Amino acid sequence: MDSTFWRRPTLSLLALAICVTAAPSRRDNSVTIGDSTYQSGGLVAFGLIPSDFIESTGDTLGGIGSATTLKPGSWKALDNGTFTGTLVVEPDRGYNVVETIDYQARQHYIDFWLTPYTDSSKLSFEDAQLTLVLSYSHTVLLNERDGKKTTGLDSGSHRNATGGDPVLPTPTSTDRLSLDVEGIVANEDGSFWISDEYGPYIYHFSAEGALISTIAPPDAIIPKSKSGDYDFTSVEDPDTGRASNQGFEGLTIDNENHVLYAMLQTATVQDGGDQKETSRYTRLLGWDISDVSNAVLVGEWVVPLPQSKKGKTRGSNEIAFLRDGIFLSLTRDGNGRGDEDLQASYKQVDLFDISAATDIHGTKYDDPEHSLRKGGDGDLDDGVEPAQYYSFVDMLDEDGLARFGLQNSDDQDDKTHINAKFEGLVLAPTGKGDQYFLFVVSDNDFQTTQGISLGQPFDAGIDVDNQFLVYTVTLPGLTGQIV
Ligand SMILES: *[C@@H]1O[C@H](CO)[C@@H](O)[C@H](O)[C@H]1NC(C)=O
Ligand SMILES: *[C@@H]1O[C@H](CO)[C@@H](O)[C@H](O)[C@H]1NC(C)=O
């Protein structure tokens, strides 16, 4: 079977390459922080993986945007204007719209060919897909050290700390590790880090998919009941710690200084995370992993997320380290294709800067008794300075979408509508100074009418393809990236 996802085009790639001319006028956004100006250059490529694509284990490929990164060493500029590479992606916990399932966590490898399109004339939806051609390669399943499979089942229970592991989330029915993967960092040696929502923890896995070690955050982040018991379920909020389904969505690395960063999607419960109106003060944590078997927490900062006009917090679904103190955040609403509410109003890749923010690690705020906020949901405590947050790449820019046959209207619910959920970010150099490609990848929640989950067919009632949007951005002075 041909594993390449696109259908034969009506426009040749050569014609596309010739079309690459001067950049059209579009809503460019630039942000100046210190001496540096960060610039958003607009959408240059679009690709998709059909919602019904079946991977090698026999399951629907599903929501791969949850965690996305570039395989180190795979990125290459060809001499004809096309760029190629391999994405390493992980879905979260399988098709779980009805209930969570016994889905073994897994990693897929996806090859791609990117031919940027910067002309202002509009491509059809079909021709647009030639700008990013994607081809499934293979899958690696994740296990514990003893070969025990991980599971996606809700973590209604936990396992005692043993053999160097902290207390780990497990379902009530078995003592296997529950994983809901949301972030990934790939290392040059083939091993990788993933972050999850149940713990929320960070796990180090070998290239073969075997668990090596686990990083646990401070008690303030771990979900607990008032009595201090672990409460890892995603069904309801704990009394303190990460709110349900609001774990470590963001994971990134500063390779130069060997610091691994993870960020909660929204605030912990004690910091207001049980309500969308009060959940904006999330936390970013950094661990020194110079000694990979002994990660040391070296920093913790408060990041103020944007809110809607109605005061609802926009969660952060991914982060990317850029340079000393500066990060990207994929921040958005949940509306769009695949959601009941079709028209999206906020999907952005924003910037934030922690250089003047207070480092709260090792303070009373690592104890769940102490909220960062006065009265639990008021102003930030005196002496807690949050990060600076800047609006940057607007994914809903109508002209940009239209150039690739895409739209965000409130009445056209078809495959050309921008997806509701984007959760993956990838950066790769264009070769032109400080300019980079920024891939933003969607998680379709396994929504297909032709699905297979654990060998059984399912029909989610809608076909939501996995969309990939690629932008150019100017990011001066980047450090710590490995391509
Ligand atoms: C460039 O060459 C690669 C490899 O042969 C091919 O896949 C790609 O389509 C070519 N790009 C263009 C713009 O012709
Ligand atoms: C786990 O730890 C608790 C508290 O220390 C102890 O009571 C319990 O017996 C342990 N469970 C197992 C399976 O070892």
Write down the pTM of the prediction.
Answer: 0.95
* Nearest protein Cα to ligand 1, atom 4: 78
DSSP assignment string, 410-477:
SS--STTBPBS-EEEEEEEE-SSTTEEEEEEEE--TT--SSEEETTEEE--SS---EEEEEEEEE-TT
Phi, psi of 103 (to 5 degrees): -100, 120
Cα 242-382-355 angle, rounded to 5 deg = 75
pLDDT over threshold 50, residue 16: no
pLDDT digits (tens, 9 = 90+) for 19-78: 443 343 344 589 999 999 999 999 999 999 999 999 999 999 998 989 999 999 999 999
Residue 351 resides in a domain: yes
**H or E stretch including 165?**
none
- Tokens at 136, concatenated: 């499934």
pLDDT over threshold 50, residue 320: yes
Nearest to 456 by CA among 125, 198, 94: 94
Contact between residue 58 and residue 94 where contact means Cβ atoms under 8 Å apart:
no
Phi, psi of 213 (to 5 degrees): -155, 170
Lining ligand 1 with CB less than 6 A are 13-14, 17, 78, 80-82, 113, 115
pLDDT confidence of residue 8: 42
Residue 164 resides in a domain: yes
pLDDT digits (tens, 9 = 90+) for 66-81: 999 999 999 999 999 9
Nearest to 392 by CA among 474, 309, 483: 474
Kindly give the number of the ligand 1 atom that is closest to the alpha carbon of 14. Answer: 14
- How would residue 7 be classed by pLDDT, with cut points 50, 70 and 90? very low
pLDDT confidence of residue 295: 97
Query: Mean pLDDT score of the chain, rounded to an integer?
Result: 94
Kindly give the number of the ligand 1 atom that is closest to the alpha carbon of 113. Answer: 7
pLDDT over threshold 80, residue 396: yes
Residue in this structure with the two tokens 């029909």, named with its chain if needed: 459
Residue 435 resides in a domain: yes
If one counts the domains in the chain, the total is 1
Kindly give the number of the ligand 1 atom that is closest to the alpha carbon of 16. Answer: 13
Nearest to 413 by CA among 333, 342, 461: 342
DSSP assignment string, 224-269:
B-TTS-B---SSS--SBSBPTT-SEEEEEEETTTTEEEEEESS-BG
- Distance of alpha carbon 14 from alpha carbon 424, whole angstroms: 29
Ligand with an atom nearest the CA of residue 158: 2
pLDDT confidence of residue 425: 98
- Distance of alpha carbon 200 from alpha carbon 403, whole angstroms: 39
- How would residue 307 be classed by pLDDT, with cut points 50, 70 and 90? very high
Q: Is the dihedral of CA 409, 415, 416, 422 positive or negative?
A: positive
Residue 131 resides in a domain: yes
Instruction: Name 128's Cβ contacts closer than 8 Å, sequence gap at least 6.
Output: 46, 117, 403, 404, 405, 406
Beta-sheet strand order (sheet of 259-264):
248-254, 259-264, 281-288, 296-304
pLDDT confidence of residue 21: 38
pLDDT confidence of residue 3: 56
Q: How many residues does the chain have?
A: 483
DSSP assignment string, 179-233:
--EEEEEE-TTS-EEEEESSS--EEEE-TTSBEEEEE---TTTS-B-TTS-B---
Query: Percentage of the chain surpassing pLDDT 70?
Result: 94
pLDDT confidence of residue 28: 54
**H or E stretch including 128?**
helix 125-128
Contact between residue 60 and residue 476 where contact means Cβ atoms under 8 Å apart:
no
Residue 1 resides in a domain: no
Contact between residue 56 and residue 48 where contact means Cβ atoms under 8 Å apart:
no
- Tokens at 97, concatenated: 């719209």
- Tokens at 408, concatenated: 């965000």
Residue 2 resides in a domain: no
- How would residue 17 be classed by pLDDT, with cut points 50, 70 and 90? very low
The preferred substitution site among 80, 83, 84 for testing ligand 1, maximizing ligand atoms within 8 Å of CB, is 80
pLDDT digits (tens, 9 = 90+) for 175-229: 999 999 999 999 999 999 999 999 999 999 999 999 999 999 999 999 999 999 9
Residue 482 resides in a domain: no
Give the pLDDT mean for 319-328.
Answer: 97
- How would residue 5 be classed by pLDDT, with cut points 50, 70 and 90? low
Give the pLDDT mean for 231-257.
Answer: 97
Residue in this structure with the two tokens 């005061």, named with its chain if needed: 311
Nearest-Å Rg of the Cα atoms of the chain is 21
**SS3 call for 127:** helix
- Distance of alpha carbon 462 from alpha carbon 450, whole angstroms: 9
**SS3 call for 54:** strand
- Distance of alpha carbon 429 from alpha carbon 436, whole angstroms: 4
pLDDT digits (tens, 9 = 90+) for 76-134: 999 999 999 999 999 999 998 889 999 999 999 999 999 999 999 999 999 999 999 99
Range of the domain at 296: 11-474
pLDDT confidence of residue 480: 86
Q: How much distance in Å is there from the Cα of 113 to the middle of ligand 1?
A: 8
Ligand with an atom nearest the CA of residue 12: 1
pLDDT confidence of residue 448: 97
The preferred substitution site among 4, 13, 115, 129 for testing ligand 1, maximizing ligand atoms within 8 Å of CB, is 13
Cis peptide before 166 (omega within 30 of 0): no
**SS3 call for 399:** helix
pLDDT confidence of residue 26: 42
**SS3 call for 14:** helix
CB atoms within 10 A of CB 204: 20
pLDDT confidence of residue 423: 97
Residue 479 resides in a domain: no
Kindly give the number of the ligand 1 atom that is closest to the alpha carbon of 115. Answer: 13
* Nearest protein Cα to ligand 1, atom 6: 82
* Nearest protein Cα to ligand 1, atom 8: 82
DSSP assignment string, 430-445:
-SSTTEEEEEEEE--T
Ligand with an atom nearest the CA of residue 230: 2
The CA-atom distances, in angstroms, between 243 and each of 34, 395, 409, 435, 460 are: 34, 27, 32, 37, 27
pLDDT over threshold 70, residue 475: yes
The CA-atom distances, in angstroms, between 167 and each of 171, 190, 269 are: 13, 27, 20
The CA-atom distances, in angstroms, between 130 and each of 12, 38, 124, 365 are: 9, 28, 10, 50
